[in-house]
Structure 1
Amino acid sequence: MFQFGFNMFHEITRPFNMTYRCFSVSMLPGNERQDVERGGKIIMPPSALEQLTRLNIEYPMIFKLTNKKTKRITHCGVLEFVADEGKVYLPHWMMANLVLEEGALLQIESVSLPVATFSKFQPLSEDFLDITNPKAVLENCLRNFSCLTTGDVIAIKYNSKAYELCVLQTKPGNAVIIIECDMNVEFAPPVGYKEDEHVSRREQREEGMDQDPSELMPEPSGFVAFRGEGNRLDGKKKKLTSESDGEPQPTASRQPYERGIPDYNWSIGTLRFIRTSRPTSAKEEAPAEPFQAFKGEGFTLRTAKSKN
């Protein structure tokens, strides 16, 4: 007699294919969700989670989003299942890639993608070149993404500024998963980039950095000690500070530049006012008399009778 176990035959994986009304994350009731805007994941309703568990799909969950009107396609992951029934919430950049309006129909289908080995990005602005280590910034921002699709324009934020990057190429396919993988990254020149203009702009910044900070100090106002020219008692002329000049050079009147210490405990939205201590007067410096109880003068409540 043969005994068959429950797991003898593998269960056939069935795809998830549903159509929802899509909205941007700003339409989500409750608090603002910046974590959704900064990544490549969407928010789906709880019924989708129940259906996905019954279908026995592969993990991590990757979905193919299709706008049937424009035939635009992209891929994404899922962040939470807390949306209203029949609705999904997408990042703004993802809706722009799919050319979707608020409340438009969106087809969502579960897919399986290969693991990424290579990707190439092109910044849409030359401001991206000002970042010191762009690969480290991109790696930190891509932690909120599950996959990449060739042709998409993703948005990342760094130092409270948004940068748009076009995904030019992905390997080994046009759509790849980037979770727990070793991926080589390359950057193409930004749109409208010119080497000569960028070099001249960099030289201008370097010249500004090489400027002496003392030259930026304001001119002193009011009385300045020892600012006048001196005369010798023996009647001889004063030595010139520069042999090339025929006249003596006046002493520098600018205040010396002193570099301050930054406040490492400063937080955004706080103001700290530093007040100088005033000199103590002679009265304040004098020692106070020791305290003695009942030393004050007393008064009676009963008026004294006048003597005849």
Structure 2
Amino acid sequence: MAWFGGGNPGPPPFPGFGSGFKSMYRAYSMVFSTKTSEEIKHGGKIIMPPSALEQLARLNISYPMLFKLSNSQHSRITHCGVLEFVAEEGRIFLPHWMMNQLYIRDGDLVELDNVSLQLATFSKFQPQTVDFLDISNPKAVLESKLRSFACLTKGDTIGIEYNAKIYELLVLDTQPGNAVSIIECDMKVDFAAPVGYKSPEPPQRMETDAADDPSDTERDTLIKEVLEKQGKFKAFAGEGQRLNGKAKPDKVSEEGSEVKPTRGIPNYNYRRGKISFEKAKNLNPHPPEVMDDDDEEDFVAFQGQGQHLRIRKNKSKTNHH
């Protein structure tokens, strides 16, 4: 097909018109760029020349702009987004972790292709050092740092900076594909055990002498005896002692229930205006001595001899006056 009517076909009036974007660039680390922000050094986006933007604007591409970086010599690929179009012509600037992923050095040629990726639904990361466990909330930190990325590639080892320290994370899995876009997506994140992590061992049993450690049979016998004793236990079933040393009367039945005391008998000989005193048996809770039956029969109230504090004069003394 000839352009502009006849003659040999020449180049199209607009380079790349009607075709995908694909070009070769010399890659350099971000240290050669005038940009020094954390998003540029440790993110997942690159800096491209202005001519690339002009060519992309004439193409029917999907947004956001995503690219595949390839190193054909070592069969290494990764994916990235674009941050700015301010690089020198023929050059692109890459984060340090991306250059390690591609096995390239400053000035090496890489191939850049425009691609369209599906939105991520799941990703799994493995920290490369156990120091990552020192972060109190790793999911929140990773969510914050992934805002500097546009896409993820399975097998990449990305680097994030937190508290002036670089943590490397291996992308173990991405769904629904090996390369996914993470711009404005609802993605679940999971972590694998860090490299070199050892789970804590269960506590070991302390070694004891064979004589002190009873066998299983002896242990079962001891447990059985204790349970039998607990089953026969009755509260307040022990023998009591009296303060005067005499034998304690049997007030508890064999079944262990207390004998109910008899109630008092009313005075049927009561007469109005006459006070009578009868001995009340067993009413004193702390008697000095327990009286015998013979003493109780001879007892008469108010028959003792009284005493005066002062010796009274003899009443039989005559008055001489």
TM over 0.5: yes
Structure 2 SS opposite 1:95: helix
Provide Cα deviations, 1:58-93, integer angstroms capped at 9, x if missing partner.
100000000011010000000000000000000000
- For residue 19 of structure 2, what is the aligned residue in structure 1? 14
Number of paired residues? Answer: 187
What residue ranges of structure 2 are gaps of 5+ in the alignment?
A: 1-16, 204-321
- Match for residue 50 of structure 2 among 46, 57, 62: 46
The match for 2:169 is 165
What residue number does 1:125 align with? 129
Partner of 1:186: 190
Paired residues of 1:14 and 1:57 also in contact (CA < 8 A): no
Matches within 5 A, 1:82-121: 82-121=86-125
Question: Where does residue 27 of structure 1 map in the other structure?
Answer: 32
Q: What is the alpha-carbon distance in structure 1 between the residues aligned to residue 163 and residue 30 of structure 2?
A: 21
> Where do 5+ consecutive residues of structure 1 fail to align?
1-11, 201-308
1:143 to 142, 147, 152: 147
- Report the CA distance between 1:56 and its aligned residue: 2.2
Separation in 2 of the partners of 1:57 and 1:70?
A: 28
Percent of counterpart pairs with the same letter?
61
2:75 aligns with 71
Please give the alpha-carbon distance, in whole angstroms, between the structure 1 residues aligned to 2:76 and 2:32: 22
Amino acid at match of 1:23: Y
State the alpha-carbon separation in 2 of the partners of residues 174 and 26 from structure 1.
29
2:40 matched residue in structure 1: 36
- What CA distance in whole angstroms lies between the structure 2 residues aligned with 1:32 and 1:182? 30
Residue identity in the other structure for 1:163: Y
> Deviation digits for residues 271-303 of structure 1, max 9, x if unmatched?
xxxxxxxxxxxxxxxxxxxxxxxxxxxxxxxxx
Instruction: Quote the RMSD (CA, aligned, Å).
Output: 1.6
CA contact (8 A) 2:42 2:96 kept: no
Task: Verify: 1:55 aligned to 2:59, yes or no.
Answer: yes
Deviation at 1:196, TM superposition (A): 1.9
Whole-angstrom CA distance in 1 between matches of 2:35 and 2:72:
31
SS in 1 for 2:144: helix
Secondary structure of the residue that 2:131 maps to in structure 1? Answer: helix
For 1:193 and 1:155, the matched residues in 2 are separated by: 19
What is the alpha-carbon distance in structure 2 between the residues aligned to residue 190 and residue 141 of structure 1?
Answer: 19
Alpha-carbon distance between aligned partners in 2 of 1:158 and 1:44, rounded to the nearest angstrom: 27
CA contact (8 A) 1:63 1:110 kept: yes
Give the drift of 1:13. Answer: 6.1
